[in-house]
């Protein structure tokens, strides 16, 4: 296995780039406005660790999915067991799967203020304005879904004048994409505007099924359709409508015994998701505040299936070993948030004050129908093969009600105190065909206290104490009884207390920005997931148990720098350092002091944008991660890795032509690891790795019109 570690080559390459830059930066660094909070604000006003990917960074990424962009963000990781990454981890905190049990996420995922937490697979990124990632608990802003942080995607709004963009892209592995987005005013007085975005992405996928002799059993076949309407009803009120339809028709023939890209499955699986979304926002200005009403409804259908034995009759011969699992999942959610947001004229004790008061309601209903079948036979057993068929159905519903508030008070012209609080109640119901029925509930509190010092109009320093929470839940299908059921059936909420100090600097005149944050977090009643295979000869018999470890500890540093060295060259670097520990887990003392899963000690990205001429740009970047534990169920680790990417862009009038390559050195790296026995007849526990994306290259053509 050819793995190049962080310790040597990337540092040499970074030194070269830096020396090269000093002797000879292209993008003008503009003022960054963050949009995920209750009101838009300059990035200098942020009192927590955040990173923003602007329109330029998004347009340069040829693969229009958040998974590809996530490598740029330090201390952000993802778990991709099958097709697209649905689950993300921030600072080592976050789910890695969602096979069964309570839908319960640690990283909030919002697109245009619609909550898609736990459904990150639909995060296509065509016609996007910017992406904001907030690291650390967002206890007052989001609540139960944002224990670790928030990922916020802002799509492009309708514009005052007609404009549009289009794109064609072709690459290896049968990759081809086409997209168009356009919009503007509908009528002459421009009080009604629209934006329509359509995108089709296709790829054969990176794997070849050598048993079926097919190259598309892990294909990506994805459609994004989005319509936005803005209506300026009057000078003091406006209405925003959103309709979107995302169809991810992605087979999932991913896992192999040898960790290669050549699969052997005779019954390839599926990892498809179709989500329809309807959103309504209404804004009404009054003298002292603005009324904001945000409502959304989502309807999601998921087909999740897999060839559990990863093989075929020939590969398992002389044994009969053939298992398959298929789950049909439907999730509906309705979310409504009502806010009162102060305007600039509001004052307390003659001091400038900004405040927010609001109430949020989130209703969720999810149904799962799972079908498992299998056969196992040993040629020495005259009674075999043994057949199995199993059907399981469950219905889950929940309701979250929260009240929240935030007050920003300027103690002086350059010193701001911010206080936020949120109280949330969660109630749920669950029942299944095995007569298991639960209705747990929790009441949780979170918030923040921060102090921000404005050194001048270019720099700030801040300190923040914040507390986040994540609701509890229950375990299903454990097959336990007596005291074991009492101890393992229900698990409690988890709480995270976070301490940060940081600084932000932005000088638009010199095209330079810098930020650094040091953080320390205490996890109380940390929720930890472990899995166990009940029958070693049946890969469909895994049980999943979530327990509360006594505590955990996470601390580290995040820093970003971006500056223009001269008229031609722009340099940027992002670094995340992370240390985590599992502490005082009585039932698993073997994990005492060990790092938490999917929490690499280092993650980084850095690169150059070099303007060769006025109309051409060469970009090079390196992204990488340190090794990390795959799971809390075993002690196997990934290898550290780095990936080199590059693209050349030529601009001509309204046209843009881009030649690009990702993972240029074709490095092997893994993004997920399972440890169990899946090879007859001994079924010896073995580490199986999920191969990350290999080398990709292609060409993109874009045309902007008005």
Put residue 683 in one of left, alpha, beta given phi > 0 → left and psi -120 to 50 → alpha: left
Q: Is the pLDDT of residue 508 over 80?
A: no
In the β-sheet with 149-155, what is the strand arrangement from edge to edge?
Answer: 49-53, 128-135, 149-155, 107-111, 114-115
Q: Average of pLDDT values for 272-276? A: 95
Q: Is the pLDDT of residue 7 over 50?
A: no
Q: Average of pLDDT values for 416-439? A: 92
Q: Average of pLDDT values for 139-148? A: 82
Burial state string for 664-694 with b = 16 or more CB within 10 A and e = fewer than 16: eeebbbbbbbbebebbbeebeeeebbbbbbb
How far is Cα 101 from Cα 202, in angstroms, rounded to an integer? Answer: 33
Between 97 and 635, residue with greater pLDDT:
635
Give CA separation, 140 vs 49, 176, 241, in Å: 15, 42, 26
pLDDT tens digits for 252-270? Answer: 899 999 989 999 999 999 9
Tokens of 303: 């087909």
Q: In a 10 Å sphere around its CB, with 0-12 CB exposed, 13-18 middle and 19+ buried, how is residue 55 labelled? A: middle
Put residue 204 in one of left, alpha, beta given phi > 0 → left and psi -120 to 50 → alpha: alpha
Q: In a 10 Å sphere around its CB, with 0-12 CB exposed, 13-18 middle and 19+ buried, how is residue 239 labelled? A: middle
How far is Cα 629 from Cα 634, in angstroms, rounded to an integer? Answer: 8
| Portion of the chain with pLDDT greater than 70, in percent | 92
What pLDDT is recorded for position 481?
55
Q: Is the pLDDT of residue 230 over 90?
A: yes
Between 350 and 240, residue with greater pLDDT:
240
What pLDDT is recorded for position 477?
66
Upper half-sphere CA count for residue 116 (Cβ side, 13 Å): 30
Give the range with max mean pLDDT: 409-418, 453-462, 695-704.
Answer: 695-704
What pLDDT is recorded for position 114?
94
DSSP state of 536: T
| Portion of the chain with pLDDT greater than 90, in percent | 67
Tokens of 351: 């001091």
Collapsing DSSP to helix, strand or coil, 180 comes out as strand
For residue 461, which phi and psi values (nearest 5 degrees)? -125, 150
Q: Which of 35-39, 236-240, 394-398, 547-551 has the lowest average pLDDT? A: 35-39
Q: Is the pLDDT of residue 9 over 50?
A: no
Q: Is the pLDDT of residue 36 over 80?
A: no
Between 684 and 527, residue with greater pLDDT:
684
Q: Average of pLDDT values for 529-556? A: 80
Between 465 and 434, residue with greater pLDDT:
465
- Regarding the domain with residue range 9-705, which homologous superfamily does it belong to in the CATH classification? TonB-dependent receptor, beta-barrel domain (2.40.170.20)
pLDDT tens digits for 650-675? Answer: 999 999 999 999 999 999 999 999 99
Q: Is the pLDDT of residue 19 over 60?
A: no
Between 170 and 62, residue with greater pLDDT:
170
Upper half-sphere CA count for residue 450 (Cβ side, 13 Å): 31
State the virtual CA torsion across 93, 96, 98, 99 in degrees, nearest 10: -140
Q: Is the pLDDT of residue 23 over 50?
A: no
Can you tell me which residue has the tokens 């005291």? 483
What string of DSSP letters covers 428-458?
Answer: EEEEETT--EE--EEEEEEEEEEEEEE-SSS
DSSP-assigned beta bridge partners for residue 548: 527
Give CA separation, 48 vs 28, 463, 478, in Å: 25, 8, 40
The mean of the pLDDT values for the chain is 88
Tokens of 431: 């029942």
Tokens of 84: 């697209």
For residue 309, which phi and psi values (nearest 5 degrees)? -95, -5
Tokens of 178: 């086409």
What pLDDT is recorded for position 95?
87
How far is Cα 256 from Cα 485, in angstroms, rounded to an integer? Answer: 35
Q: Which of 141-150, 215-224, 246-255, 446-455 has the lowest average pLDDT? A: 141-150
Q: Which of 123-127, 440-444, 449-453, 563-567 has the lowest average pLDDT? A: 563-567
Q: In a 10 Å sphere around its CB, with 0-12 CB exposed, 13-18 middle and 19+ buried, how is residue 411 labelled? A: exposed
What pLDDT is recorded for position 2?
39
Q: How confident is the model at residue 3 (pLDDT cuts 50, 70, 90)?
A: very low
Pairing, β 208-209 against β 262-263: parallel
How far is Cα 338 from Cα 196, in angstroms, rounded to an integer? Answer: 27
Q: Average of pLDDT values for 586-608? A: 89
What pLDDT is recorded for position 449?
95
Closest CA to 149 of 79, 84, 89: 89
Tokens of 638: 């990934």
Q: Is the pLDDT of residue 133 over 90?
A: yes
Give the range with max mean pLDDT: 144-148, 459-463, 485-489, 566-570.
Answer: 459-463
Q: How confident is the model at residue 380 (pLDDT cuts 50, 70, 90)?
A: very high
Within 10 angstroms of residue 477's Cβ, the number of other Cβ atoms is: 18
Q: Which of 132-141, 477-486, 637-646 has the lowest average pLDDT? A: 477-486
Q: Which of 46-60, 239-253, 598-612 has the lowest average pLDDT? A: 46-60
Q: Average of pLDDT values for 580-593? A: 82
How far is Cα 1 from Cα 618, in angstroms, rounded to an integer? Answer: 31
Collapsing DSSP to helix, strand or coil, 167 comes out as strand
* Interacting residues of 593 by C-beta distance below 8 A, sequence separation 6+: 581, 582, 583
What pLDDT is recorded for position 592?
83
Between 624 and 122, residue with greater pLDDT:
624
């Amino acid at each position: 296995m050819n793995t190049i570690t962080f310790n040597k080559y990337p540092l040499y390459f970074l030194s070269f780039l830096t020396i090269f830059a000093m002797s000879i930066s292209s993008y003008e660094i503009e003022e960054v406005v963050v949009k995920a909070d209750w009101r838009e604000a300059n990035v200098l006003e942020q009192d927590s660790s955040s990173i923003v990917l602007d329109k330029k960074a998004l347009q340069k990424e040829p693969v229009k999915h958040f998974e590809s962009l996530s490598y740029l963000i330090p201390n952000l990781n993802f778990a991709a067991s099958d097709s697209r990454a649905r689950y993300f981890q921030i600072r080592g905190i976050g789910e890695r799967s969602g096979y069964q049990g309570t839908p319960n996420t640690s990283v909030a995922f919002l697109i245009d203020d619609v909550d898609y937490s736990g459904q990150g697979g639909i995060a296509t990124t065509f016609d996007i304005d910017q992406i904001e990632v907030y690291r650390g608990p967002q206890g007052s802003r989001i609540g139960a879904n944002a224990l670790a942080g928030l990922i916020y995607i802002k799509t492009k709004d309708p514009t005052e004048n007609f404009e549009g963009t289009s794109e064609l892209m072709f690459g290896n592995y049968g990759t081809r994409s086409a997209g168009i987005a356009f919009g503007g005013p509908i009528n002459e007085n421009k009080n009604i505007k629209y934006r329509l975005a359509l995108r089709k992405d296709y790829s054969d996928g990176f794997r070849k099924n050598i048993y079926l002799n097919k190259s598309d059993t892990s294909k990506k076949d994805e459609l994004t359709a989005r319509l936005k309407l803005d209506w300026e009803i009057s000078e003091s009120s406006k209405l925003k409508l959103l309709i979107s339809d995302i169809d991810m028709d992605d087979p999932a023939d991913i896992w192999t015994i040898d960790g290669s890209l050549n699969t052997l499955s005779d019954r390839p699986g599926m990892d498809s998701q179709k989500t329809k979304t309807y959103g309504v926002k209404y804004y009404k200005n009054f003298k002292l505040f603005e009324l904001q009403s945000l409502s959304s409804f989502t309807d999601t259908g998921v087909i999740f299936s897999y060839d559990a034995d990863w093989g075929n009759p020939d590969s398992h011969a002389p044994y009969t070993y053939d298992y398959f699992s298929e789950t049909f999942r439907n999730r509906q959610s309705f979310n409504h948030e009502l806010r009162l947001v102060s305007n600039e004229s509001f004052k307390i004790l003659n001091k400038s004050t900004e405040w927010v008061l609001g109430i949020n309601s989130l209703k969720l209903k999810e149904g799962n129908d799972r079908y498992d079948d299998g056969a196992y036979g040993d040629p020495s057993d005259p009674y075999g093969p043994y057949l199995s068929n199993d059907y399981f159905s469950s219905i889950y519903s929940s309701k979250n009600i929260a009240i929240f508030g935030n007050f920003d008070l300027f103690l002086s012209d350059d010193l701001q105190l911010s206080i936020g609080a949120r109280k949330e109640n969660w109630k749920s119901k669950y029942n299944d065909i095995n007569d298991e029925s639960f209705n747990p509930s929790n009441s949780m509190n979170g918030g923040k206290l921060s102090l921000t010092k404005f050194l001048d109009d270019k720099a700030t320093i801040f300190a923040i104490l914040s507390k986040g929470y994540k609701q509890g839940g229950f375990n299903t299908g454990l097959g336990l009884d007596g005291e074991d059921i009492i101890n393992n059936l229900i698990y409690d909420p988890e709480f995270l207390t976070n301490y940060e100090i940081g600084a932000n600097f932005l000088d638009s005149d010199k095209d330079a920005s810098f930020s650094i944050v040091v953080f320390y977090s205490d996890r109380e009643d940390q929720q930890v997931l472990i899995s166990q295979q009940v029958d070693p000869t049946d890969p469909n018999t895994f049980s999943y148990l979530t327990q509360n470890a006594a505590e955990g500890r996470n601390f580290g540093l995040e820093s970003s720098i971006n500056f223009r060295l001269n008229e031609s060259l722009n340099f940027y670097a992002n670094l995340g350092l992370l240390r985590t520990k599992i502490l005082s887990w009585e039932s698993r003392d073997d994990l005492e002091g060990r790092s938490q899963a999917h929490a690499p000690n280092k993650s980084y990205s850095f690169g150059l944008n070099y303007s060769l001429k006025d109309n051409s740009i060469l970009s090079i970047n390196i992204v990488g991660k340190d090794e990390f534990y795959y799971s809390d169920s075993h002690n196997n680790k990934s290898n550290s890795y780095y990936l080199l990417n590059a693209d050349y862009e030529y601009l001509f009038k309204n046209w843009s032509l881009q030649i690009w390559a990702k993972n240029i050195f074709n490095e092997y790296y893994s993004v997920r690891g399972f440890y169990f026995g899946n090879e007859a007849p001994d079924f010896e526990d073995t580490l199986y790795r999920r191969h990350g994306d290999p080398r990709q290259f292609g060409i993109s053509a874009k045309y902007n019109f008005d």
